[in-house]
């Protein structure tokens, strides 16, 4: 039993070390937020932050080149803005929708596959509070 605990402890320590090292070396982040209004309209916002070192390692062109690629190949359903601040380039993509059906249609257009979107409102005490 002691050997088993020792191996599990070593495995967990190695896994945590890998996660920490990976997290420290991450030069870009992707965050997404879905906001749904009471009338079931809303927005999906995706923010992509890219460190200058990752950009220079991964892309051989300039920012103007990348923006041109996004402009020419980006779907009409997405709007985007670009900002730059102290070594970090940030893209903000926004997908607005007027209903769940509109959202599903736009997601399927973007991804090219048949995804199903379902929205559920929870009435539990954990969701609504006391």
Percent of the chain at pLDDT > 90 equals: 16
User: Whole-model pTM?
Assistant: 0.66
What mean pLDDT comes out for the span 96-124? 82
The tens digit of pLDDT for each residue in 33-52 reads: 999 898 989 999 999 888 88
Please give the Cα distance from 4 to 6 (Å, whole number). 5
Tokens of 12: 């967990």
Residue 36's alpha-carbon distances to 39, 83, 93, 104, in angstroms, are 8, 26, 17, 13
In contact, 61 and 38? CB cutoff 8 Å: no
Residue 114: what pLDDT?
78
The tens digit of pLDDT for each residue in 47-95 reads: 988 888 888 888 788 888 888 888 888 778 888 898 988 888 899 999 9
């Amino acid at each position: 039993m002691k050997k088993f605990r020792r191996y599990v402890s070593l495995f967990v320590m190695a896994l945590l070390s890998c996660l920490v090292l990976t997290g420290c070396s991450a030069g870009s982040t992707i965050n997404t937020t879905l906001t749904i209004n009471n009338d079931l309209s809303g927005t999906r916002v995706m923010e992509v932050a890219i460190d200058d070192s990752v950009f220079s390692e991964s892309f051989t062109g300039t920012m103007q080149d990348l923006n041109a690629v996004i402009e020419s190949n980006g779907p009409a359903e997405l709007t985007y803005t670009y900002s730059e601040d102290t070594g970090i380039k940030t893209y903000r993509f926004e997908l607005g929708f007027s209903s769940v059906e509109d959202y599903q249609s736009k997601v399927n257009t973007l991804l090219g596959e048949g995804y199903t979107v379902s929205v559920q409102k929870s009435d539990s005490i954990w969701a609504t509070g006391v």
